[in-house]
Amino acid sequence: MDFSTLLGIIVGFGSLIFAFVLEGGSVSSLIGLSAAIIVLGGTIGATMTSFSMKDILKLPKLIGKAFKEEGNKYLDIIKYFVYLSQKARSEGLLSLEQELQSDEIKNYDPILKDCIELVIDGADIELIKTTMENRIYIEDKALKKEASMFEAAGGYSPTMGIIGTVMGLVHVLGNLSQPDKLGPSIAVAFIATLYGVSMANLVWLPIGEKLKNKAQIKKTEKEIILEGSLSLQAGENPKIVEKKLMTFVVEKDTVSEESGLKGEVANEKI
């Protein structure tokens, strides 16, 4: 589990409630079933109207994805390409064909297998680059569309809160015959705005941003794979391949020692 997501939501809501109680408020006064129905129901309805049912059905899976830890595989991919370049230089590009059935290749994005197949087939570098860049763009666009559903919900939620508040005030103003109940009734009406704004800024928008960050990681992984594949096709030196691919990595940890071990593995297979 990605505890930062869960902890962030808990800290966010917990801080609001703690501050409210600290000022003498009662937690029970923040509970409003009708307000919750208006905000949640209205937000979900508006989001469903904005996207297709196929997209909406992905929401439970996407929420689970936001709570799942998914670290990047930048260094692992680079190490693997250093190994592949060593193997290709010593045994030829056709020797990479056996890697297509290896268990290690299954640990990475499917684009890796497709790129290596193109390299083995002797496809032109420009063809590999153009084909895979288009694929990376389309797949990245699809992932960002998933994140945009939560961003849309974050935009609708405060508005639904305002609608709930207006509906509550309409009810209050329709019962002016009981002045002593006006204060509590108005307070209840504003709970909808509280729900709308807090859900938008503590749940929907942060989850959308989390998914966008995960999409960026996937895109970078694919870009590393593409660049590594082009280097394989060009027959570049493993050290050059390593230095070129390391430009994608923010954490400048060297992979030389581990890639050297990969080289030894390759030599053992010769």
Written as one string, the DSSP assignment of 178-219 is -GGGHHHHHHHHTHHHHHHHHHIIIIIHHHHHHHHHHHHHHH
Q: Which tens digit of pLDDT belongs to each residue from 9-36?
A: 999 999 999 999 998 888 988 888 989 9
CA atoms within 13 A on the CB side of 54: 2
Q: How confident is the model at residue 180 (pLDDT cuts 50, 70, 90)?
A: low
- From residue 58, alpha-carbon distances to 25, 51, 55, 143, 147 in Å are 39, 11, 5, 11, 11
pLDDT, residue 107, reads 87
| Residue 257 pLDDT > 50 | no
Closest to 100 measured CA to CA, from 84, 123, 78, 76: 84
Query: Which pair of tokens denotes residue 141?
Result: 């666009």
Average pLDDT, the chain: 87
Enumerate the domain spans of the chain.
34-254
Q: How many Å apart are CA 178 and CA 204, to the nearest integer?
A: 38
For residue 229, name the pLDDT band (cuts at 50, 70, 90): very high
- Secondary-structure breakdown of the chain: helix, strand, coil percentages, each rounded to the nearest 5: 85, 0, 15
**Region for 44 from its dihedrals, namely left if φ exceeds 0, alpha if ψ lies in -120 to 50, beta otherwise:** alpha
What does the pLDDT average to over 35-55? 95
Own/partner contacts of 74-77, CB < 8 Å, gap of 24 or more, are 74/220, 74/221, 74/224, 74/248, 74/249, 74/251, 75/249, 75/251, 75/253, 75/255, 76/107, 76/108, 77/108, 77/112, 77/221, 77/224, 77/225, 77/228, 77/245
- The 10s digit of each residue's pLDDT in 118-151 is 999 988 999 999 999 999 999 999 999 999 999 9
pTM of the model: 0.82
- CA angle (18 as vertex; 13, 19 as ends), nearest 5: 105
Say how far apart CA 109 and CA 124 lie, in whole Å: 22
Measure the CA–CA gap between 167 and 190, rounded to whole angstroms: 10
Both tokens assigned to 188:
């209840």
DSSP state of 103: S
pLDDT, position 251: 56
Banded model confidence at residue 179, pLDDT cuts 50, 70, 90: low
Span 56-98, pLDDT tens digits: 999 999 999 999 888 889 999 999 999 999 999 888 888 888 8
Query: Percent of the chain beyond pLDDT 90?
Result: 65
